[in-house]
A and B are shown apart, each in its own frame.
Chain A
Amino acid sequence: MSAAEKAQAAQSTRNGWLLSTPALVILTLFAVGPLMIVVVYSFLAPGQYGNVEWQFSLDGWRGILWTKDIFDDTYGLADANISIFWRSIKLSVLTTVLTFAVGFPTAWFIATRPQKSRALWLFLITIPFWTNLLIRTYAINEVIRNEGLMNTVLLKLGAISEPIRLIYTDTAVFIGMAYVYLPLMVLPLFAAIDRFDMRLLEAGYDLYASRMQVLRRVILPIVKPGIIAGSILVFVPSLGAYVTPRVLGGGKQMMIGNFIDLQFGQGRNWPLGAALSLTLLVIVTAALLIYVKYANRDVSNGH
Protein backbone atom coordinates (compact mmCIF):
# COMPACT_ATOMS: atom_id res chain seq x y z
CA MET A 1 0.00 0.00 0.00
CA SER A 2 1.38 3.40 -0.92
CA ALA A 3 1.44 6.32 1.48
CA ALA A 4 -1.40 8.00 -0.42
CA GLU A 5 -3.57 4.88 -0.19
CA LYS A 6 -2.79 4.55 3.48
CA ALA A 7 -3.79 8.15 4.08
CA GLN A 8 -6.98 7.58 2.15
CA ALA A 9 -7.83 4.50 4.21
CA ALA A 10 -7.21 6.40 7.43
CA GLN A 11 -9.40 9.22 6.15
CA SER A 12 -12.15 6.74 5.31
CA THR A 13 -12.00 5.20 8.79
CA ARG A 14 -12.08 8.63 10.37
CA ASN A 15 -15.16 9.55 8.36
CA GLY A 16 -16.81 6.29 9.37
CA TRP A 17 -16.33 7.14 13.03
CA LEU A 18 -17.34 10.78 12.59
CA LEU A 19 -20.57 9.88 10.83
CA SER A 20 -21.42 7.29 13.51
CA THR A 21 -20.68 9.65 16.41
CA PRO A 22 -24.12 11.31 16.81
CA ALA A 23 -25.84 7.91 17.01
CA LEU A 24 -23.21 6.63 19.44
CA VAL A 25 -23.63 9.69 21.66
CA ILE A 26 -27.42 9.26 21.92
CA LEU A 27 -27.06 5.53 22.55
CA THR A 28 -24.39 6.08 25.19
CA LEU A 29 -26.45 8.70 27.03
CA PHE A 30 -29.86 7.02 26.82
CA ALA A 31 -29.25 3.29 26.45
CA VAL A 32 -25.80 2.00 27.46
CA GLY A 33 -24.74 4.60 30.04
CA PRO A 34 -27.84 4.26 32.25
CA LEU A 35 -27.07 0.54 32.60
CA MET A 36 -23.83 1.48 34.39
CA ILE A 37 -25.85 3.46 36.93
CA VAL A 38 -28.00 0.37 37.48
CA VAL A 39 -24.83 -1.57 38.31
CA VAL A 40 -23.85 1.07 40.89
CA TYR A 41 -27.36 1.17 42.38
CA SER A 42 -27.43 -2.59 42.85
CA PHE A 43 -24.58 -2.23 45.38
CA LEU A 44 -26.24 0.48 47.49
CA ALA A 45 -28.68 0.38 50.38
CA PRO A 46 -32.37 1.14 49.87
CA GLY A 47 -33.65 4.57 50.93
CA GLN A 48 -36.58 4.73 53.28
CA TYR A 49 -38.86 6.44 50.76
CA GLY A 50 -37.53 4.85 47.61
CA ASN A 51 -34.28 5.69 45.82
CA VAL A 52 -31.03 4.76 47.63
CA GLU A 53 -28.75 5.56 50.52
CA TRP A 54 -25.20 6.11 49.28
CA GLN A 55 -23.54 3.35 51.25
CA PHE A 56 -22.16 0.05 50.01
CA SER A 57 -24.40 -2.95 50.56
CA LEU A 58 -24.81 -6.42 49.10
CA ASP A 59 -28.39 -6.70 50.32
CA GLY A 60 -29.76 -5.92 46.87
CA TRP A 61 -28.03 -8.94 45.36
CA ARG A 62 -28.69 -11.12 48.38
CA GLY A 63 -32.38 -10.17 48.22
CA ILE A 64 -32.79 -11.88 44.87
CA LEU A 65 -32.92 -15.32 46.47
CA TRP A 66 -32.74 -14.80 50.23
CA THR A 67 -34.85 -12.94 52.69
CA LYS A 68 -33.97 -11.76 56.17
CA ASP A 69 -36.10 -13.11 58.97
CA ILE A 70 -37.71 -10.20 60.85
CA PHE A 71 -37.21 -11.83 64.25
CA ASP A 72 -33.77 -13.38 64.36
CA ASP A 73 -32.03 -11.74 61.37
CA THR A 74 -31.18 -15.10 59.80
CA TYR A 75 -31.39 -15.55 56.06
CA GLY A 76 -33.80 -17.99 54.47
CA LEU A 77 -34.75 -18.69 50.87
CA ALA A 78 -37.32 -16.18 49.58
CA ASP A 79 -40.09 -18.49 48.42
CA ALA A 80 -42.13 -15.68 46.89
CA ASN A 81 -39.21 -14.60 44.70
CA ILE A 82 -38.41 -18.13 43.65
CA SER A 83 -41.99 -18.75 42.64
CA ILE A 84 -41.86 -15.61 40.46
CA PHE A 85 -38.65 -16.77 38.76
CA TRP A 86 -40.09 -20.22 38.28
CA ARG A 87 -43.28 -18.78 36.77
CA SER A 88 -41.26 -16.54 34.42
CA ILE A 89 -39.09 -19.37 33.19
CA LYS A 90 -41.95 -21.87 32.96
CA LEU A 91 -44.25 -19.50 31.04
CA SER A 92 -41.43 -18.38 28.72
CA VAL A 93 -40.47 -21.97 27.88
CA LEU A 94 -44.11 -22.96 27.37
CA THR A 95 -44.67 -19.91 25.18
CA THR A 96 -41.62 -20.79 23.07
CA VAL A 97 -42.76 -24.42 22.70
CA LEU A 98 -46.35 -23.55 21.80
CA THR A 99 -45.41 -20.82 19.33
CA PHE A 100 -43.02 -23.26 17.65
CA ALA A 101 -45.61 -26.06 17.55
CA VAL A 102 -48.17 -23.90 15.75
CA GLY A 103 -45.71 -21.49 14.14
CA PHE A 104 -43.80 -24.11 12.16
CA PRO A 105 -46.82 -25.40 10.22
CA THR A 106 -47.89 -21.79 9.64
CA ALA A 107 -44.49 -20.76 8.30
CA TRP A 108 -44.42 -23.89 6.14
CA PHE A 109 -47.88 -23.09 4.81
CA ILE A 110 -46.84 -19.54 3.86
CA ALA A 111 -43.58 -20.68 2.26
CA THR A 112 -45.37 -23.24 0.08
CA ARG A 113 -47.98 -20.78 -1.25
CA PRO A 114 -47.67 -19.69 -4.89
CA GLN A 115 -45.38 -16.68 -5.29
CA LYS A 116 -48.27 -14.26 -5.76
CA SER A 117 -50.35 -14.98 -2.67
CA ARG A 118 -47.30 -15.56 -0.48
CA ALA A 119 -46.73 -11.82 -0.01
CA LEU A 120 -50.31 -11.44 1.19
CA TRP A 121 -50.05 -14.26 3.76
CA LEU A 122 -46.79 -12.82 4.96
CA PHE A 123 -48.39 -9.40 5.27
CA LEU A 124 -51.15 -10.97 7.38
CA ILE A 125 -48.50 -12.21 9.84
CA THR A 126 -46.70 -8.85 9.76
CA ILE A 127 -49.74 -6.72 10.70
CA PRO A 128 -50.08 -8.23 14.20
CA PHE A 129 -46.29 -8.05 14.53
CA TRP A 130 -46.34 -4.26 14.16
CA THR A 131 -49.59 -3.74 16.04
CA ASN A 132 -49.26 -2.24 19.49
CA LEU A 133 -48.49 -4.96 22.04
CA LEU A 134 -50.89 -3.41 24.52
CA ILE A 135 -53.71 -3.48 21.99
CA ARG A 136 -53.04 -7.13 21.19
CA THR A 137 -52.95 -8.01 24.87
CA TYR A 138 -56.22 -6.16 25.36
CA ALA A 139 -57.67 -8.03 22.36
CA ILE A 140 -56.88 -11.36 24.05
CA ASN A 141 -58.51 -9.98 27.18
CA GLU A 142 -61.66 -9.39 25.12
CA VAL A 143 -61.73 -13.07 24.21
CA ILE A 144 -60.86 -14.78 27.49
CA ARG A 145 -62.30 -12.54 30.22
CA ASN A 146 -65.25 -13.84 32.21
CA GLU A 147 -67.87 -12.10 30.06
CA GLY A 148 -65.69 -12.27 26.94
CA LEU A 149 -66.26 -13.80 23.54
CA MET A 150 -65.16 -17.32 24.50
CA ASN A 151 -67.39 -17.61 27.56
CA THR A 152 -70.35 -15.93 25.85
CA VAL A 153 -70.22 -18.36 22.94
CA LEU A 154 -69.68 -21.43 25.12
CA LEU A 155 -72.54 -20.43 27.44
CA LYS A 156 -74.88 -19.83 24.49
CA LEU A 157 -73.97 -23.21 23.06
CA GLY A 158 -74.61 -24.79 26.44
CA ALA A 159 -71.12 -26.31 26.53
CA ILE A 160 -70.52 -24.83 29.97
CA SER A 161 -72.99 -23.77 32.67
CA GLU A 162 -70.85 -21.01 34.16
CA PRO A 163 -68.01 -18.94 32.71
CA ILE A 164 -64.51 -20.41 32.70
CA ARG A 165 -62.47 -18.17 34.99
CA LEU A 166 -59.31 -17.82 32.99
CA ILE A 167 -58.41 -14.18 33.39
CA TYR A 168 -55.78 -13.34 36.04
CA THR A 169 -54.30 -16.84 35.96
CA ASP A 170 -50.99 -18.21 34.69
CA THR A 171 -52.88 -19.78 31.81
CA ALA A 172 -54.21 -16.35 30.77
CA VAL A 173 -50.68 -14.91 30.77
CA PHE A 174 -49.43 -17.94 28.82
CA ILE A 175 -52.17 -17.63 26.16
CA GLY A 176 -51.54 -13.90 25.93
CA MET A 177 -47.78 -14.25 25.48
CA ALA A 178 -48.14 -17.01 22.90
CA TYR A 179 -50.56 -14.76 21.02
CA VAL A 180 -48.45 -11.61 21.08
CA TYR A 181 -45.11 -13.29 20.35
CA LEU A 182 -46.25 -15.76 17.68
CA PRO A 183 -45.23 -13.55 14.72
CA LEU A 184 -41.68 -13.42 16.14
CA MET A 185 -41.54 -17.21 15.73
CA VAL A 186 -43.22 -17.42 12.33
CA LEU A 187 -41.12 -14.77 10.57
CA PRO A 188 -37.63 -16.31 11.04
CA LEU A 189 -39.05 -19.81 10.45
CA PHE A 190 -40.53 -18.58 7.20
CA ALA A 191 -37.20 -17.05 6.18
CA ALA A 192 -35.47 -20.40 6.78
CA ILE A 193 -38.10 -22.55 5.05
CA ASP A 194 -38.28 -20.14 2.13
CA ARG A 195 -34.62 -20.90 1.34
CA PHE A 196 -35.28 -24.63 1.60
CA ASP A 197 -34.98 -26.49 -1.70
CA MET A 198 -38.22 -28.47 -2.05
CA ARG A 199 -36.50 -30.92 -4.40
CA LEU A 200 -34.76 -32.36 -1.36
CA LEU A 201 -38.19 -33.55 -0.21
CA GLU A 202 -38.72 -35.37 -3.44
CA ALA A 203 -35.32 -36.97 -3.10
CA GLY A 204 -36.28 -38.08 0.40
CA TYR A 205 -39.55 -39.60 -0.75
CA ASP A 206 -37.88 -41.23 -3.73
CA LEU A 207 -35.56 -42.96 -1.30
CA TYR A 208 -38.61 -44.36 0.52
CA ALA A 209 -38.49 -42.08 3.55
CA SER A 210 -41.78 -41.68 5.39
CA ARG A 211 -43.25 -38.20 5.96
CA MET A 212 -42.09 -38.28 9.56
CA GLN A 213 -38.57 -39.32 8.54
CA VAL A 214 -38.44 -36.57 5.93
CA LEU A 215 -39.55 -34.04 8.49
CA ARG A 216 -36.98 -35.15 11.04
CA ARG A 217 -34.02 -35.99 8.83
CA VAL A 218 -34.36 -33.54 5.94
CA ILE A 219 -36.44 -30.52 6.91
CA LEU A 220 -35.56 -29.92 10.55
CA PRO A 221 -31.75 -29.93 10.16
CA ILE A 222 -31.91 -27.47 7.30
CA VAL A 223 -34.30 -25.01 8.94
CA LYS A 224 -32.53 -25.29 12.30
CA PRO A 225 -31.07 -21.75 12.19
CA GLY A 226 -34.62 -20.44 11.77
CA ILE A 227 -35.82 -22.53 14.69
CA ILE A 228 -33.06 -21.19 16.95
CA ALA A 229 -33.65 -17.60 15.82
CA GLY A 230 -37.40 -17.88 16.37
CA SER A 231 -36.98 -19.50 19.78
CA ILE A 232 -34.62 -16.76 20.95
CA LEU A 233 -36.84 -14.03 19.57
CA VAL A 234 -39.80 -15.45 21.53
CA PHE A 235 -37.99 -16.57 24.68
CA VAL A 236 -36.10 -13.31 25.32
CA PRO A 237 -39.07 -10.90 25.30
CA SER A 238 -41.22 -13.48 27.13
CA LEU A 239 -38.75 -13.60 29.98
CA GLY A 240 -38.71 -9.81 30.23
CA ALA A 241 -42.46 -9.43 29.63
CA TYR A 242 -44.13 -6.64 31.55
CA VAL A 243 -47.32 -5.51 29.80
CA THR A 244 -48.92 -8.91 29.13
CA PRO A 245 -48.57 -10.31 32.68
CA ARG A 246 -49.68 -6.97 34.08
CA VAL A 247 -52.89 -6.83 32.03
CA LEU A 248 -53.76 -10.54 31.95
CA GLY A 249 -52.22 -11.55 35.26
CA GLY A 250 -53.94 -8.75 37.13
CA GLY A 251 -51.01 -7.89 39.41
CA LYS A 252 -51.03 -11.24 41.17
CA GLN A 253 -49.45 -13.55 38.57
CA MET A 254 -46.24 -11.53 38.46
CA MET A 255 -43.29 -12.23 36.20
CA ILE A 256 -39.73 -10.89 36.62
CA GLY A 257 -40.60 -7.67 34.74
CA ASN A 258 -43.46 -6.86 37.11
CA PHE A 259 -41.36 -7.84 40.11
CA ILE A 260 -38.69 -5.33 39.05
CA ASP A 261 -41.40 -2.68 38.62
CA LEU A 262 -42.68 -3.47 42.11
CA GLN A 263 -39.27 -2.74 43.69
CA PHE A 264 -39.25 0.74 42.17
CA GLY A 265 -42.83 1.36 43.29
CA GLN A 266 -44.50 0.02 46.42
CA GLY A 267 -41.56 -2.26 47.26
CA ARG A 268 -39.25 0.76 47.73
CA ASN A 269 -36.21 -1.41 47.25
CA TRP A 270 -34.33 0.12 44.36
CA PRO A 271 -31.09 -1.85 44.92
CA LEU A 272 -33.03 -5.12 44.72
CA GLY A 273 -34.80 -3.83 41.61
CA ALA A 274 -31.42 -2.95 40.09
CA ALA A 275 -29.94 -6.36 40.96
CA LEU A 276 -32.99 -8.12 39.49
CA SER A 277 -32.71 -6.04 36.30
CA LEU A 278 -29.06 -7.04 35.91
CA THR A 279 -29.88 -10.69 36.55
CA LEU A 280 -32.49 -10.57 33.80
CA LEU A 281 -30.00 -8.83 31.52
CA VAL A 282 -27.35 -11.51 32.16
CA ILE A 283 -29.78 -14.36 31.40
CA VAL A 284 -30.93 -12.68 28.20
CA THR A 285 -27.36 -11.94 27.11
CA ALA A 286 -26.38 -15.57 27.78
CA ALA A 287 -29.28 -16.75 25.60
CA LEU A 288 -28.20 -14.38 22.82
CA LEU A 289 -24.56 -15.53 23.05
CA ILE A 290 -25.61 -19.15 22.77
CA TYR A 291 -27.62 -18.17 19.73
CA VAL A 292 -24.69 -16.38 18.10
CA LYS A 293 -22.44 -19.38 18.76
CA TYR A 294 -24.91 -21.86 17.27
CA ALA A 295 -25.74 -19.65 14.32
CA ASN A 296 -22.05 -19.28 13.44
CA ARG A 297 -21.35 -22.98 13.88
CA ASP A 298 -24.19 -23.87 11.54
CA VAL A 299 -22.80 -21.63 8.87
CA SER A 300 -19.28 -23.00 9.15
CA ASN A 301 -20.41 -26.63 9.24
CA GLY A 302 -22.87 -26.22 6.41
CA HIS A 303 -20.27 -25.30 3.84
Chain B
Amino acid sequence: MATKTFSVAKLPGFTTTAIIVFIALYLPILTLVAYSFNASQSVAVWGGFSWDWYVKAWNNDAVKDATVRSLLIAVCAAVISTAVATMAALGTTRRKAFKGQTFIYVMINQPLMVPEIVTAVSLLILFGMVKQATGIQGIGYVIFAHAAFCIPFAYLPIRARLEGMDMTLETAAADLYATPWQTFRHVTLPILLPGVIAGAMLAFVISLDDVVITEFTKSGGQDTLPTYMLGQMRRQLTPEINAISSMLLALTIVLLTAFFLLTRKND
Protein backbone atom coordinates (compact mmCIF):
# COMPACT_ATOMS: atom_id res chain seq x y z
CA MET B 1 0.00 0.00 0.00
CA ALA B 2 2.72 2.40 1.02
CA THR B 3 4.79 1.69 -2.08
CA LYS B 4 1.77 2.14 -4.27
CA THR B 5 0.98 5.55 -2.81
CA PHE B 6 4.56 6.55 -3.52
CA SER B 7 4.45 5.53 -7.17
CA VAL B 8 1.10 7.22 -7.62
CA ALA B 9 2.58 10.50 -6.42
CA LYS B 10 5.23 10.35 -9.11
CA LEU B 11 4.40 12.56 -12.05
CA PRO B 12 6.36 12.36 -15.29
CA GLY B 13 9.22 14.84 -15.59
CA PHE B 14 8.74 16.25 -12.09
CA THR B 15 11.79 14.60 -10.53
CA THR B 16 14.01 15.59 -13.46
CA THR B 17 12.80 19.19 -13.27
CA ALA B 18 13.37 19.27 -9.51
CA ILE B 19 16.92 17.96 -9.84
CA ILE B 20 17.68 20.54 -12.54
CA VAL B 21 16.23 23.26 -10.28
CA PHE B 22 18.45 22.25 -7.37
CA ILE B 23 21.51 22.23 -9.63
CA ALA B 24 20.55 25.62 -11.10
CA LEU B 25 20.03 26.95 -7.57
CA TYR B 26 23.45 25.94 -6.31
CA LEU B 27 25.66 26.12 -9.39
CA PRO B 28 25.88 29.96 -9.42
CA ILE B 29 26.61 30.10 -5.67
CA LEU B 30 29.30 27.42 -6.00
CA THR B 31 30.78 29.25 -8.99
CA LEU B 32 30.93 32.43 -6.94
CA VAL B 33 32.69 30.63 -4.09
CA ALA B 34 35.07 28.83 -6.50
CA TYR B 35 36.15 32.10 -8.12
CA SER B 36 36.97 33.53 -4.68
CA PHE B 37 39.90 31.08 -4.62
CA ASN B 38 41.08 32.16 -8.06
CA ALA B 39 44.72 33.28 -8.07
CA SER B 40 44.23 35.33 -11.24
CA GLN B 41 43.66 39.08 -11.02
CA SER B 42 40.84 38.95 -13.52
CA VAL B 43 37.54 37.29 -12.75
CA ALA B 44 37.59 35.82 -16.25
CA VAL B 45 40.62 33.52 -16.10
CA TRP B 46 41.26 30.68 -13.70
CA GLY B 47 44.82 31.00 -12.40
CA GLY B 48 44.98 28.27 -9.79
CA PHE B 49 44.00 27.99 -6.12
CA SER B 50 44.85 30.77 -3.71
CA TRP B 51 43.71 32.39 -0.45
CA ASP B 52 44.99 35.78 -1.62
CA TRP B 53 41.60 37.43 -2.04
CA TYR B 54 40.57 36.52 1.48
CA VAL B 55 43.82 38.00 2.80
CA LYS B 56 43.27 41.07 0.66
CA ALA B 57 39.67 41.51 1.82
CA TRP B 58 40.77 40.98 5.42
CA ASN B 59 43.42 43.69 5.10
CA ASN B 60 41.16 46.11 3.23
CA ASP B 61 40.28 48.91 5.66
CA ALA B 62 37.10 49.83 3.79
CA VAL B 63 35.87 46.23 4.08
CA LYS B 64 36.82 46.04 7.74
CA ASP B 65 35.06 49.32 8.41
CA ALA B 66 31.92 48.21 6.56
CA THR B 67 31.90 44.84 8.32
CA VAL B 68 32.09 46.41 11.78
CA ARG B 69 29.30 48.84 10.84
CA SER B 70 27.13 46.06 9.40
CA LEU B 71 27.49 44.02 12.57
CA LEU B 72 26.85 47.02 14.81
CA ILE B 73 23.67 47.92 12.92
CA ALA B 74 22.47 44.33 12.81
CA VAL B 75 23.05 43.77 16.55
CA CYS B 76 21.32 47.03 17.52
CA ALA B 77 18.43 46.48 15.10
CA ALA B 78 18.00 42.88 16.27
CA VAL B 79 18.00 43.85 19.96
CA ILE B 80 15.54 46.74 19.50
CA SER B 81 13.18 44.89 17.17
CA THR B 82 13.21 41.71 19.25
CA ALA B 83 12.52 43.61 22.47
CA VAL B 84 9.51 45.48 21.09
CA ALA B 85 8.32 42.43 19.11
CA THR B 86 8.39 40.27 22.24
CA MET B 87 6.25 42.80 24.07
CA ALA B 88 3.87 43.09 21.13
CA ALA B 89 3.61 39.30 20.89
CA LEU B 90 2.76 39.10 24.59
CA GLY B 91 0.21 41.84 24.05
CA THR B 92 -1.53 40.25 21.07
CA THR B 93 -1.69 36.59 22.11
CA ARG B 94 -3.17 34.64 24.98
CA ARG B 95 -5.87 37.13 25.73
CA LYS B 96 -9.39 37.61 24.49
CA ALA B 97 -9.45 39.08 21.00
CA PHE B 98 -9.81 42.81 21.46
CA LYS B 99 -10.83 45.69 19.28
CA GLY B 100 -7.88 47.03 17.35
CA GLN B 101 -5.97 43.76 17.33
CA THR B 102 -6.24 43.55 13.54
CA PHE B 103 -4.89 47.08 13.34
CA ILE B 104 -1.85 46.02 15.38
CA TYR B 105 -1.30 43.00 13.10
CA VAL B 106 -1.48 45.17 9.99
CA MET B 107 0.95 47.68 11.49
CA ILE B 108 3.43 44.98 12.48
CA ASN B 109 3.30 43.33 9.06
CA GLN B 110 3.39 46.61 7.16
CA PRO B 111 7.11 46.34 6.30
CA LEU B 112 6.41 43.00 4.57
CA MET B 113 3.74 44.54 2.34
CA VAL B 114 5.36 47.77 1.19
CA PRO B 115 8.02 47.48 -1.54
CA GLU B 116 11.47 48.17 -0.08
CA ILE B 117 12.21 50.91 -2.58
CA VAL B 118 9.13 52.83 -1.43
CA THR B 119 10.12 52.62 2.24
CA ALA B 120 13.66 53.57 1.23
CA VAL B 121 12.70 56.82 -0.53
CA SER B 122 10.21 57.73 2.20
CA LEU B 123 12.97 57.43 4.80
CA LEU B 124 15.35 59.35 2.55
CA ILE B 125 12.89 62.26 2.56
CA LEU B 126 12.13 62.03 6.30
CA PHE B 127 15.76 61.74 7.41
CA GLY B 128 16.77 64.55 5.06
CA MET B 129 14.22 66.81 6.77
CA VAL B 130 15.25 65.76 10.28
CA LYS B 131 18.96 66.14 9.53
CA GLN B 132 18.39 69.60 8.12
CA ALA B 133 16.22 70.68 11.04
CA THR B 134 18.33 69.28 13.87
CA GLY B 135 21.79 68.91 12.38
CA ILE B 136 22.07 65.51 14.07
CA GLN B 137 24.05 63.04 11.98
CA GLY B 138 25.13 59.54 12.86
CA ILE B 139 24.36 55.89 12.37
CA GLY B 140 21.19 56.00 14.50
CA TYR B 141 19.01 56.71 11.46
CA VAL B 142 20.06 53.50 9.75
CA ILE B 143 19.69 51.52 12.98
CA PHE B 144 16.10 52.64 13.54
CA ALA B 145 15.20 52.13 9.88
CA HIS B 146 16.49 48.56 10.21
CA ALA B 147 14.79 48.02 13.58
CA ALA B 148 11.43 48.93 12.00
CA PHE B 149 11.58 46.48 9.09
CA CYS B 150 13.00 43.73 11.33
CA ILE B 151 9.97 43.82 13.69
CA PRO B 152 7.72 41.42 11.68
CA PHE B 153 10.57 38.92 11.31
CA ALA B 154 11.23 38.95 15.06
CA TYR B 155 7.51 38.91 15.88
CA LEU B 156 6.46 35.83 13.91
CA PRO B 157 8.56 33.11 15.65
CA ILE B 158 7.88 34.64 19.08
CA ARG B 159 4.15 34.70 18.46
CA ALA B 160 4.24 31.12 17.16
CA ARG B 161 6.00 30.04 20.35
CA LEU B 162 3.50 31.85 22.55
CA GLU B 163 0.49 30.37 20.80
CA GLY B 164 1.77 26.86 21.43
CA MET B 165 2.32 27.60 25.11
CA ASP B 166 0.47 26.02 27.99
CA MET B 167 -1.29 28.79 29.92
CA THR B 168 -1.98 26.63 32.97
CA LEU B 169 1.65 27.03 34.05
CA GLU B 170 1.15 30.74 34.54
CA THR B 171 -2.14 30.19 36.32
CA ALA B 172 -0.36 27.74 38.59
CA ALA B 173 2.37 30.27 39.33
CA ALA B 174 -0.25 32.91 40.10
CA ASP B 175 -2.09 30.47 42.37
CA LEU B 176 1.16 30.02 44.27
CA TYR B 177 1.23 33.77 44.97
CA ALA B 178 3.84 34.70 42.37
CA THR B 179 3.58 38.35 41.37
CA PRO B 180 2.89 38.99 37.66
CA TRP B 181 6.54 40.00 37.24
CA GLN B 182 7.79 36.85 39.01
CA THR B 183 5.51 34.75 36.85
CA PHE B 184 6.89 36.38 33.73
CA ARG B 185 10.51 36.21 34.86
CA HIS B 186 10.52 32.61 36.11
CA VAL B 187 7.80 30.92 34.06
CA THR B 188 6.88 32.71 30.84
CA LEU B 189 10.29 33.99 29.78
CA PRO B 190 12.22 30.70 30.11
CA ILE B 191 9.62 28.91 27.97
CA LEU B 192 9.51 31.78 25.51
CA LEU B 193 13.29 32.12 25.20
CA PRO B 194 13.88 29.82 22.19
CA GLY B 195 11.29 31.83 20.24
CA VAL B 196 12.93 35.09 21.28
CA ILE B 197 16.38 33.86 20.22
CA ALA B 198 14.98 32.58 16.91
CA GLY B 199 13.30 35.93 16.30
CA ALA B 200 16.47 37.85 17.14
CA MET B 201 18.47 35.69 14.74
CA LEU B 202 16.04 36.24 11.88
CA ALA B 203 16.09 39.97 12.56
CA PHE B 204 19.90 39.91 12.61
CA VAL B 205 20.12 38.10 9.25
CA ILE B 206 17.50 40.36 7.66
CA SER B 207 19.34 43.48 8.83
CA LEU B 208 22.72 42.13 7.72
CA ASP B 209 21.36 41.40 4.24
CA ASP B 210 19.62 44.68 3.60
CA VAL B 211 20.79 46.69 0.61
CA VAL B 212 18.04 49.01 -0.57
CA ILE B 213 16.94 50.75 2.63
CA THR B 214 20.55 51.11 3.81
CA GLU B 215 21.60 52.56 0.45
CA PHE B 216 18.99 55.32 0.80
CA THR B 217 19.33 56.07 4.51
CA LYS B 218 23.11 56.03 4.98
CA SER B 219 25.15 59.22 4.88
CA GLY B 220 28.53 59.47 3.16
CA GLY B 221 31.10 57.14 4.70
CA GLN B 222 28.46 54.94 6.29
CA ASP B 223 28.75 51.96 3.97
CA THR B 224 27.65 48.57 5.23
CA LEU B 225 29.05 45.41 3.67
CA PRO B 226 26.20 45.01 1.15
CA THR B 227 26.23 48.68 0.07
CA TYR B 228 30.03 48.56 -0.20
CA MET B 229 29.73 45.52 -2.45
CA LEU B 230 27.02 47.18 -4.54
CA GLY B 231 29.32 50.17 -5.03
CA GLN B 232 32.22 47.91 -6.01
CA MET B 233 30.11 46.07 -8.56
CA ARG B 234 29.79 49.28 -10.53
CA ARG B 235 33.58 49.54 -10.75
CA GLN B 236 35.96 46.81 -11.81
CA LEU B 237 35.21 43.35 -10.56
CA THR B 238 37.90 41.42 -8.71
CA PRO B 239 37.56 38.11 -6.86
CA GLU B 240 37.75 40.16 -3.66
CA ILE B 241 33.98 40.62 -3.89
CA ASN B 242 33.67 36.85 -4.24
CA ALA B 243 35.76 36.41 -1.09
CA ILE B 244 33.60 38.87 0.87
CA SER B 245 30.43 37.24 -0.47
CA SER B 246 31.68 33.78 0.47
CA MET B 247 32.40 34.88 4.03
CA LEU B 248 28.97 36.48 4.35
CA LEU B 249 27.43 33.32 2.88
CA ALA B 250 29.25 31.16 5.42
CA LEU B 251 27.99 33.36 8.26
CA THR B 252 24.39 33.11 6.98
CA ILE B 253 24.56 29.32 6.71
CA VAL B 254 25.96 28.99 10.24
CA LEU B 255 23.20 31.22 11.65
CA LEU B 256 20.51 29.39 9.68
CA THR B 257 21.67 25.98 10.80
CA ALA B 258 21.63 27.19 14.39
CA PHE B 259 18.15 28.64 13.84
CA PHE B 260 16.83 25.34 12.47
CA LEU B 261 18.31 23.31 15.30
CA LEU B 262 16.87 25.77 17.78
CA THR B 263 13.33 25.72 16.41
CA ARG B 264 13.36 21.99 15.66
CA LYS B 265 14.20 20.81 19.18
CA ASN B 266 11.09 22.49 20.48
CA ASP B 267 8.67 20.43 18.45
Residue numbers of A with Cβ under 8 A of B are 9, 12-13, 15-20, 22-24, 26-35, 37-38, 41, 51, 102-103, 105-106, 108-110, 112, 123-128, 130-136, 138-143, 147-149, 179, 182, 198-199, 201-202, 205, 211, 215, 236-237, 239-240, 242-243, 246-247, 256-257, 260-261, 264, 270, 273-274, 277-278, 280-281, 284-285, 288
Contacts and interface: CB of A to CB of B under 8 A. Distances in A.
24 contacts: A12-B96, A16-B98, A19-B88, A19-B90, A20-B88, A22-B88, A23-B84, A29-B144, A30-B145, A38-B125, A108-B9, A110-B18, A127-B253, A132-B249, A132-B252, A134-B209, A136-B28, A136-B29, A138-B229, A182-B21, A201-B9, A202-B8, A237-B116, A242-B211
Given A31-B149, A134-B211, A24 B107 contact: yes
Nearest to A16: B91
Interface of B: 4-6, 8-15, 17-22, 24-29, 31-32, 35, 42-45, 80-81, 83-85, 87-88, 90-92, 95-96, 98-101, 104, 107-108, 110-111, 113-126, 128-129, 144-145, 147-149, 151, 155, 205, 208-209, 211-212, 216, 226, 229-230, 233, 241-242, 245, 248-249, 252-253, 256, 260
A246 B124 CA distance: 19
A22 B87 contact: yes
A147 B43 contact: yes
B115 A237 contact: yes
A97 B12 CA distance: 20
B117 A242 contact: yes
Given A38-B125, A198-B8, A288 B113 contact: yes
A27 B245 CA distance: 31
A277 B21 CA distance: 34
| Most chain B Cβ neighbours within 10 Å, of A22, A31, A237, A256 | A31
Contacts of B260: 123, 126
Contacts of A28: 107
A260 B121 contact: yes
A257 B119 CA distance: 11
